[in-house]
Amino acid sequence: MKKQAYNPYLPSWEYIPDGEPYVFDGRVYVYGSHDFYNGYVFCMGDYVCWSAPVDDLWNWRYEGVIYPRSADPENRDGKMCLYAPDVTVGPDGRYYLYYVLDKISVISVAVCDTPAGKYEFYGYVRYPDGTRLGEREGDEPQFDPGVLTEGDVTYLYSGFCGRGDKSRTGSKVVVLDKDMLTVREGPVLVVPGSEYSAGTEYEDHAFFEASSIRKVDDKYIFIYSSEVMHELCWAVSDSPLGGFTYGGVLISNADVGIDTYKPADMPMAYAANDHGSIVMINGEWYIFYHRHTNNTWYSRQGCAEKLVCTEKGFAQAEMTSCGLNGGPLAGKGEYPAYLACNLFTEKHDLYVGQPHAPRVMQDGRDGDENEGYIADITDGTTAGFKYFDCRGVRKISIAARAYADGVFEIRTKWDGDALAAIPVVSSNVWETYTADIDLPDGVNAIYITYRGTGTPQLKSFTLA
């Protein structure tokens, strides 16, 4: 079988959220922060980079550590975390990495001659008098920089706006000189936060964090995480310096807002914050975002979905297991359970951290290259996988372990009729169980629901 691209697109033991995707010289590079499995805060790792050929989006290559935490002069002891970065190509053709440390509110810059080489500290974004952006009286703290360079000019966006904090107004932009450090204009507000959005088109979808900027044809597209956290939204303008109008939602990492296969307000995964951006690959637009694993905020994984463009712009993308594959997955073969794009109980809780919620996890510690699986499954837990091009599927198998006395029911709709029931029993090793099934030919989702006692774990399922 031809190798396929999945969601998450990186190995299941890698945790790279906040992805900013770019195409350089025929490869897609993703720059993000670096969570740990079982991490206890956000962004505990050094910056690493992964890349893939534009015509082989399953074939991701680890580029290694491109910038360690201790490289910043303010963080020689490595005690601060590297928050979400962004990259742009400067007027000199070099690659500039913009980022913020978690304890100081200024923007640092590193530089490299290649997209994924060793970046070296370059300086701090500053005003002409040398005062660092974020430290002048009246400045708001800097956070989640997004950058776009056109000619000799770079536009730098930044901001963080929690609900209830009137000292934070929204995302602001500054214009940098060709040295990539000196502020030439601004800061200027471009999208308001929740405390300043009442009565505007941004109300209920106001700016929270995760500023990102792209140019699409002759328009500027601003991507951001909204006040509800689980969604990435977009706004559009003829100018990078303002005049942005609200466009809509690009993705929700709970699929809230999607009404094609369930009610629009029903969450289908455990959500929390989101961060990402758009990129064109082979003539198609994709949204890169992240999901949450291990029932925590701090072990996030990168995912991507194809975007549909309409007369009104980008439509909201649905979460899938096939992501960058360009279409449904083959309806034959074994698929790991960590590919679940839907994971919920009968309560359909929205946010991570619910007691005893099902979760994607792995054995071992961070860095151990062990494939993920679903744990803490209880009566009524459902894992959903979308989509598969099925032809003549007559058997389905699952690999499960741990304490269990029940059945796994198989459906093609989350609320549809059960097409098969696979009994399972307690086992301290992975066991395979098989049942006959008559899956309809065509493109199907696969929903696997547990009914019974205990807390089984699900490693994979196989269509045959």
Is residue 369 annotated as part of the catalytic site, yes or no?
no
First-to-final CA distance of the chain: 13
Among residues 297, 325, 353, the one where a domain terminates is 325
* 347 Cβ neighbours under 8 A, 6+ residues apart: 354
Catalytic residue among 209, 318, 376, 409: 209
Please tell me the predicted confidence (pLDDT) of residue 173.
98
Picking from 199, 195, 258, the residue whose alpha carbon sits closest to that of residue 227 is 195
pLDDT digits (tens, 9 = 90+) for 370-429: 999 999 999 999 999 999 999 999 999 999 999 999 999 999 999 999 999 999 999 999
Pair 139, 199 in one domain: yes
Is residue 185 annotated as part of the catalytic site, yes or no?
no
Please tell me the predicted confidence (pLDDT) of residue 2.
66
Pair 413, 456 in one domain: yes
Residue 312: pLDDT band (50, 70, 90) is confident
Among residues 262, 296, 325, the one where a domain terminates is 325
pLDDT digits (tens, 9 = 90+) for 335-347: 999 999 999 999 9
Looking at the whole model, is its pTM more than 0.95? yes
Pair 311, 381 in one domain: no
Q: What is the pLDDT averaged over residues 317-327? A: 97
Pair 203, 260 in one domain: yes
Torsion, Cα of 11, 13, 18, 24 (10° steps): -30
For 423, the token pair is: 């009994």
Evaluate whether 90 touches 37 at the Cβ level (below 8 Å). no
Please tell me the predicted confidence (pLDDT) of residue 310.
87
Q: Quote the domain boundaries for residue 404.
A: 330-463
Scanning the structure block, which residue is given the tokens 């839907």?
342
Evaluate whether 317 touches 356 at the Cβ level (below 8 Å). no
The enclosing domain of 457 has a CATH number of: 2.60.120.260
What's the structural domain count of the chain? 2
Catalytic residue among 18, 195, 231, 318: 18
Q: What is the pLDDT averaged over residues 116-124? A: 98
Picking from 268, 277, 272, the residue whose alpha carbon sits closest to that of residue 298 is 272
Pair 315, 361 in one domain: no
pLDDT digits (tens, 9 = 90+) for 158-212: 999 999 999 999 999 999 999 999 999 999 999 999 999 999 999 999 999 999 9
For 291, the token pair is: 């999901």
Please tell me the predicted confidence (pLDDT) of residue 311.
85
